[in-house]
Amino acid sequence: MNSYRTGRIFCFGTMEKKKKDIRALTSEQLREFFIGQGDQPFRGNQVYEWLWQKSVHSFDAMTNISKETRQLLEDHFVINHIKVDQLQRSRDGTIKNAVRLYDDLIVESVLIPTATRTTACVSSQVGCSLDCKFCATSRLKRMRNLNPDEIYDQVVAIDNESRLYFDRPLSNIVFMGMGEPLMNYNNVLKAIEKISSPEGLGMSPRRITVSTSGVPRMIRKMADEGVKFKLAVSLHSAIDEIRTSIMPFNATFTLTDLRESLQYWYQKTRSRITYEYVVWEGINDTQKDIDALVDFCRFAPSKVNLIEYNPIDDGKFKQASVKAVQEYRDTLEQNGIIVTVRRSRGQDIDAACGQLANKSENTEF
Ligand code: SF4
């Protein structure tokens, strides 16, 4: 058991536990609260602005609100902001945050700077309920889903870091940190709504990518709801037997189901799908694997990101040879499929894809 979790038993007194997180309220609910208190509804708007646009951490910071009203809020609510407990910087500029939640659990988020963009990679769950064999997060038991405000706060923290260290705002967000975002669907969608709303960060949803290991029912649901963000799927193999051996949930959500849900997604949204794909030595580095991927890509307009693998401790998975990756690239291109080869970022601080595992948890803060 990690030391943060044991701490949570003691972190709040009885009174605090009964208070509601004010950021779980919509602006409408805040207005209703003030009406119920005999105040004006616009007070709700003022408080909402302080909470989201200005991201204040205490009621006392709401300086255009009277002292009595601030006390009223204090009596009824808490503001459960995240806290960046530890910040690590990679040689390549990547920044990894160890983020402490209100109940002392920890998740990680990453800022990835390039010449043209700054991307936030955020977590959606504490741990993960899926068990991808190549992923460090899979070793952490899923403790709980993140609330919308905890997801939002990770983005705000990274936006601040981007401005501080790189002198520019955050440009993109990927849900590729800890957890399976579609297993926390409602909260992820609420967070995206807040991130893209003018009352929040006002970011275009087209700059947000939700990356899933592939939950067909939820992909259909997203398509039906007409979401505007982009979709990426961690595919890694287009052969059921191999995919199930590295991503065991594939036995339940088979490639046929996944493919049909992706076709449905494209019919409804007309939005191209990105496949995240790592090539491992001895696992998916043969011509048969390449041909299967090419076939899978034919079902809907798509793009393939061939991602360099970041080894985790057990050494069972090894990055395939340059030649094997080149074979993939050439064959995909010959078949008219857009392909990029992505170099790994933040490897030296365990911040790269698949490496997030709260290793910083044993560090003294
Ligand atoms: S790759 Fe994603 S879905 Fe799979 S175990 Fe890791 S965090 Fe969970």
Give yes or no for residue 172 CB within 6 A of ligand 1.
no
Q: What are phi and psi of 20, to 5 degrees?
A: -90, 150
| Residue 348 CB-half CA count within 13 A | 8
> Residues 104, 11: contact at Cβ < 8 Å?
yes
- Please check the confidence at residue 9 and state whether its pLDDT lies above 90: no
User: Which pLDDT value is given to residue 313?
Assistant: 66
Per-residue pLDDT of 241-253, as tens digits, reads 999 999 999 999 9
Give yes or no for residue 213 CB within 6 A of ligand 1.
yes
Respond yes or no: is residue 353 known to be catalytic: yes
> Residues 171, 158: contact at Cβ < 8 Å?
no
Per-residue pLDDT of 65-96, as tens digits, reads 999 999 999 999 999 889 999 999 998 899 99
Mean of pLDDT values over 166-177: 95
Respond yes or no: is residue 241 known to be catalytic: no
Which atom of ligand 1 is the closest one to the Cα of 213?
3
- Please check the confidence at residue 15 and state whether its pLDDT lies above 50: no
Per-residue pLDDT of 223-233, as tens digits, reads 999 999 999 99
Per-residue pLDDT of 89-123, as tens digits, reads 998 899 999 999 999 999 999 999 998 899 999 99
Q: Active-site residue among 108, 150, 180, 327?
A: 108
How does residue 199 score in pLDDT terms, banded at 50, 70 and 90? Answer: confident
Per-residue pLDDT of 276-315, as tens digits, reads 999 999 999 999 999 999 999 999 999 999 998 877 766 6
Which candidate, 163, 60, 66, 51, places its Cα nearest to that of 118? 163
